Structure 1
Amino acid sequence: MDAQYTIVIADDHPLFRNALFQSVHMAFSGANLLEADSLDSLLTLLDKEDDVDLLLLDLKMPGANGMSGLIQLRSQYPDLPIVVISASEEASVIRQVRSHGAFGFIPKSSDMRALISSLNQVLDGEPVFPEGLGEDNEELSELTDKIAALTPQQYKVLGMLSDGLLNKQIAYELNVSEATIKAHMTAIFRKLGVKNRTQAVILLQQMDINP
């Protein structure tokens, strides 16, 4: 294929990321292929690259917190086509992926022919999902909207909150004052419609998937 695509592969497993890189390189020899191994490195990369045609995203990466990583990316980069490539192939997971704005889902168990066929379909502007998934969950869609309303910094604070860090520890990690973190917390609770840290963490866990 002659088209000059820019494709980002985001996966924290070096062996799988390398195998995917080689497969995509063989199929799209002229493509500009970029890699990321965490949500932070991915966001840094996307900030620098103006014209990414496709993001291949693993749901389980450092900083991604399952589905919420996908939601954060959809919020910050609404025009970027994101295809999730995951080992979690349950219909419920794929429905969540679709309802949270992904352009497609490719199982990690796919052989190279199926993978390349799916990528061609996506690059031609056609979503790719397994058949027979049924309807998306309205409750999940509402949750998606709430998470998407957070700023990148608020999302980062929420992720650290879910990891069990205290305000003082979060302030240290982000190099800001505790008062700033408290202000972020107030805004997060308001946007999520919760009253405390525990409820916020439970809400975030509802978006997660099994490892």
Structure 2
Amino acid sequence: MSDITVLVADDHPLLRAAVVHSLRQALPQVTVIEVASAATLETALDQHAEIELVLLDLTMPGARGFSSLLHVRGAHPDVPVVIVSSNDHPRVIRRAQQFGAAGFIPKSAPAETLGQAVAAVLDGGVWFPAMAAERSESDALLATRLAQLTPQQFRVLLCLADGLLNKQIAYELGLAENTVKVHVTAILKKLECHSRTQAAVLVKALEPEGDAGAGV
């Protein structure tokens, strides 16, 4: 397991450095790629096919709750994602699992926990703390619907959630306005929404509970 490449995504330099340090303690020969935003996360995954694992904080610039997790799972389904977050509410952990994470490590956990979790996930397993929260059927349905979106449609959806018009989305993503219209139509159909507002509400549902101050 020493010759692996791990992507660490966290916008807080000191916390990211702590994660990287713990990772190298557990796997001395690991190659680490560091990013600090949702956009650089996407770019790194597109440019580095050798990445075998992502350690992901939930609160980075450009991310909406679990949106980065869902995007990685949709665009790179073969790359497992372990959430590393200060928000370790049982419901958050359960939702991370339902949205496709292979593991969840609270930032308050001992340093050796990261090594244990990474080893379990790289071995094809999962690693989650004990959870009291029950499985949510609404989250399961939401995850199923969002999984139907292409990576580009997911980007358009996040722009919709920010209240951008088609022309603004086209500029933001470098697309033709007609292409954006086609994506919006497909998004609403796949998510079974009747309006852009309904779609935006679904994105809002990706925000973890008790998220105030999380990620620091």
Q: Which residue of 1 aligns with 2:140?
A: 141
Q: TM-score, normalised by structure 1?
A: 0.93
Distance 2:155 2:2 in 1: 36
- 1:192 is displaced (CA, Å) by 0.6
CA contact (8 A) 1:10 1:57 kept: yes
CA contact (8 A) 1:57 1:85 kept: yes
Of 7-16 and 43-52, more deviation after overlay is shown by 43-52
CA contact (8 A) 1:64 1:70 kept: no
Q: Which residue of 1 aligns with 2:171?
A: 172
Distance 1:177 1:132 in 2: 45
Which secondary structure state, in structure 1, belongs to the residue aligned with residue 132 of structure 2? coil
Q: Which residue of 1 aligns with 2:83?
A: 84
Distance 1:132 1:196 in 2: 35
- 1:109 is displaced (CA, Å) by 0.8
1:104-141: CA deviations, max 9, x gaps? 10001112122222222323333111114354212211
CA contact (8 A) 2:37 2:60 kept: yes
- 1:54 is displaced (CA, Å) by 1.4
Q: Which residue of 1 aligns with 2:29?
A: 30
Q: TM-score, normalised by structure 2?
A: 0.91
Distance 2:99 2:133 in 1: 15
Q: Which residue of 2 aligns with 1:13?
A: 12
CA contact (8 A) 1:54 1:80 kept: yes
1:34-92: CA deviations, max 9, x gaps? 11111221111111222322110111112221112211211111121110001111111
CA contact (8 A) 1:105 1:130 kept: yes
- Indicate the structure whose relative CO is greater, using CA pairs within 8 Å and at least 6 residues apart: 2
Q: Which residue of 1 aligns with 2:100?
A: 101
Distance 1:55 1:132 in 2: 22
CA contact (8 A) 2:93 2:131 kept: no
Of 166-175 and 186-195, more deviation after overlay is shown by 166-175
Distance 2:108 2:167 in 1: 43
Of 186-195 and 174-183, more deviation after overlay is shown by 174-183
Q: CA RMSD in A?
A: 1.6
Which secondary structure state, in structure 2, belongs to the residue aligned with residue 54 of structure 1? strand
Distance 1:118 1:152 in 2: 27
CA contact (8 A) 2:167 2:177 kept: yes
Matches within 5 A, 1:56-205: 56-205=55-204
Seen in structure 2, the aligned counterparts of structure 1 residues 176 and 3 have a Cα distance that, compared at 3 Å, is closer
Distance 1:41 1:116 in 2: 25
Q: Number of aligned residue pairs: give it.
A: 210
Of 74-83 and 125-134, more deviation after overlay is shown by 125-134
| Unmatched tracts of structure 1, length 5 or more | none
Of 154-163 and 19-28, more deviation after overlay is shown by 19-28
| Unmatched tracts of structure 2, length 5 or more | none
